Structure 1
Amino acid sequence: MAIKVVTDSTSDLPADVAESLGIEVVPLNVHFGSDVYKDRVNLMPDAFYDKLINGDVLPTTSQPSVGEFIDVYERLGSDADGIVSVHLSEKLSGTMNSARLASQQANADCPIEVVDTFQVSMGVGICAMEAAEVANSGGDMNQVILAARNAVTRSQCFFMLETLEFLQKGGRIGKAQALIGNLLKIRPMLMLQEGEVHPLGRERTRRKGIAKLVDTVEELAPISGLAVMYSTGPDEAQILVQNVSKFMIEGREPMMLQIGPVIGTYAGPDTLGIALISAKSGG
């Protein structure tokens, strides 16, 4: 038996990556009025953004239930030495609380550790990947927990939004509230800091905003893992991939992926983002 790694769908992990690493992804819920969807299960990103842009109702989100986490933990726990459950910032979602309560209530026949990444999107995904790689190489429970917590200290996530409208209406704007009222023809630049949304800067054009994203990656180099994320603009994301690949350690390449429905609810269309993990000291 081995250690199993669990995360949630706000990690935006591509399905093939999660499958190849053996990461179990628990979906959050997306609500359009009375219609409820499972993130990336029966509501995929393209369909979500079409509804977001062209529909009359703004979506809301909700965390998985305690019972859903219990079901996952008990199923995995029957064939595991331990479970490490890696999730988005507790300051932004009740998902961590659902996972923590489930870890206390589940009859999983193995220990369960719940880890707050203080991140969103692939900031969560990268931490889960780091934990899974150690688990898959035969690491024990303590080693996998250590890998996840070490990844948390080295990971960062930042974004360029077209507008703060969706973040503000969703109540997740945090310290970026200071940018409100100053955004005429300005692209807000945001980062996650101590689990909350903080301003990274503001740029008047998308070109300058993309340059700011690249400069921020350079400041954090060398990079051992990086994902370029987009909501509706893959062409710009591809340009970003080309511009940041030089900051990665030898043999590593950036990932490129679409931001999913839950994070897209707050980020909105035309968002670009980067999640990364800095290389360990000494390589």
Structure 2
Amino acid sequence: MTVKIITDSTSDITAEEGAKLGITVAPLTVMFGRESFLDRVTITTEEFYRRLTTQDVFPTTTQPSPAAFAELYNKLAEETDEILVINLSSKLSGTYQSAVSAIDMVKKNCRVEVIDSQFVAMGQGLVVLAAANAAQQGASLDELTGFVRDALGRCHWITYFDTLKYLAKGGRIGKAQGLLGSVLSIKPILTVKEGEIHPVTRLRSKSAGIEYLYNFVTSFQKIEEIAVEHTTLPDEADRLAERLSAAFPNVNIRRSIVSPVLGTYGGPDAIAVTVLEAR
């Protein structure tokens, strides 16, 4: 039987994309006041960012419950006896713990392994996509867990933020806390290290930030795949992807929009790049 792959919606893999690749996407929840929405299921990215930029209500988020993961496990256990779950960093969300807790709720004889990616967005997503491809080629669960841990070590993700306001309000600012006192015009570049947000550098404009992202990607010699994603900067993201495509004509470049749950912390006008190094 083919190993089934589960990830969460912060991987920035949509449910539609996942279905084509045999990936089940567990949605987190985003809330505006008393209104709650399943990430990319009952609220679109367009509607979310419209609300984020026009309303005074600051959104909040919550992880899927163990029961929600158990429902997915039991459904997939009808089709397989091995499931691999790859979640966002456990230091940024309780999603990983929910996925682990749900293992005891599996009714059939089905082995479930849960991996803490220690990433978010396409830092997580590119590895999930690679794992799904390996699963379709017949890799076992043990082979996949080794494959994923190796791929996570080859994955590199950095993001340009227009503001740290949303990250700070959401309590996810991590090691970038020291940047909060910076001059308002300073634009931070952040990354994730050992599952936590860390500062990389500070720049004075959006154009300088995007140029930094470009130079970051082109500093790698061997690349398996690249991702470019944004919150509300489609034109800038497209232009960056085009430049990277010219620099790496034989490398697939994925374009995506940051999910509502991650957009809660990234805020508007953020743009990120992910590099999955080749072996």
In the superposition, the TM-score normalised over structure 2's length comes to: 0.97
**Where does residue 193 of structure 1 map in the other structure?**
193
**Where does residue 119 of structure 1 map in the other structure?**
119
**Where does residue 258 of structure 1 map in the other structure?**
257
Instruction: Answer yes or no: is the 8 Å Cα contact 2:65–2:98 preserved in 1.
Output: yes
**Where does residue 209 of structure 1 map in the other structure?**
209
**Where does residue 180 of structure 1 map in the other structure?**
180
Q: Secondary structure at the match of 1:80?
A: coil
Q: Secondary structure at the match of 1:176?
A: helix
Deviations for 1:62-100, whole angstroms, at most 9, x for unmatched residues?
A: 000000000000110121130000010000000000001
Shift in Å, 1:200: 1.1
**Where does residue 267 of structure 1 map in the other structure?**
266
Instruction: Answer yes or no: is the 8 Å Cα contact 2:90–2:118 preserved in 1.
Output: yes
Instruction: Answer yes or no: is the 8 Å Cα contact 2:29–2:38 preserved in 1.
Output: yes
Question: Structure 1 residues 179, 90: CA separation in 2 closer, same or farther (over 3 Å shift)?
Answer: same
Instruction: Answer yes or no: is the 8 Å Cα contact 2:14–2:25 preserved in 1.
Output: no
Q: Secondary structure at the match of 2:219?
A: helix
Aligned 1:16-95 pairs, distance under 5 A: 16-95=16-95
Alignment partner of 1:133 is 2:124: no
Instruction: Answer yes or no: is the 8 Å Cα contact 1:222–1:247 preserved in 2.
Output: no
Alignment partner of 1:110 is 2:113: no
- Tell me the percent identity: 39
Q: Distance in 1 between matches of 2:123 and 2:227?
A: 9
Q: Distance in 2 between matches of 1:247 and 1:142?
A: 36
Q: Secondary structure at the match of 1:112?
A: strand
**Where does residue 151 of structure 2 map in the other structure?**
151
Alignment partner of 1:236 is 2:233: no
Q: Distance in 2 between matches of 1:274 and 1:32?
A: 28
Deviations for 1:102-142, whole angstroms, at most 9, x for unmatched residues?
A: 12332242110001111001111111111111110011111
Instruction: Answer yes or no: is the 8 Å Cα contact 1:73–1:108 preserved in 2.
Output: no
Instruction: Answer yes or no: is the 8 Å Cα contact 2:11–2:121 preserved in 1.
Output: yes
Shift in Å, 1:247: 5.2
Deviations for 1:234-271, whole angstroms, at most 9, x for unmatched residues?
A: 000011102223554x6322011111100000000000
Q: Secondary structure at the match of 2:214?
A: helix
Question: Structure 1 residues 110, 179: CA separation in 2 closer, same or farther (over 3 Å shift)?
Answer: same
Q: Secondary structure at the match of 1:2?
A: coil
Q: Distance in 1 between matches of 2:104 and 2:149?
A: 20
Q: Distance in 2 between matches of 1:96 and 1:20?
A: 24
Q: Secondary structure at the match of 1:220?
A: coil
Q: Distance in 2 between matches of 1:3 and 1:44?
A: 30
Q: Distance in 2 between matches of 1:117 and 1:222?
A: 22
Instruction: Answer yes or no: is the 8 Å Cα contact 1:89–1:120 preserved in 2.
Output: yes
Instruction: Answer yes or no: is the 8 Å Cα contact 1:233–1:270 preserved in 2.
Output: yes
Instruction: Answer yes or no: is the 8 Å Cα contact 1:226–1:277 preserved in 2.
Output: yes
Shift in Å, 1:14: 3.5
102-111 or 232-241: bigger deviation:
102-111
Shift in Å, 1:36: 0.7
266-275 or 9-18: bigger deviation:
9-18
Equivalent residue letter for 2:178: A
Q: Distance in 1 between matches of 2:145 and 2:155?
A: 15
RMSD of aligned Cα (Å): 1.3
Q: Distance in 2 between matches of 1:90 and 1:106?
A: 22
Q: Aligned pairs, how many? A: 279
**Where does residue 277 of structure 1 map in the other structure?**
276
Equivalent residue letter for 1:195: G
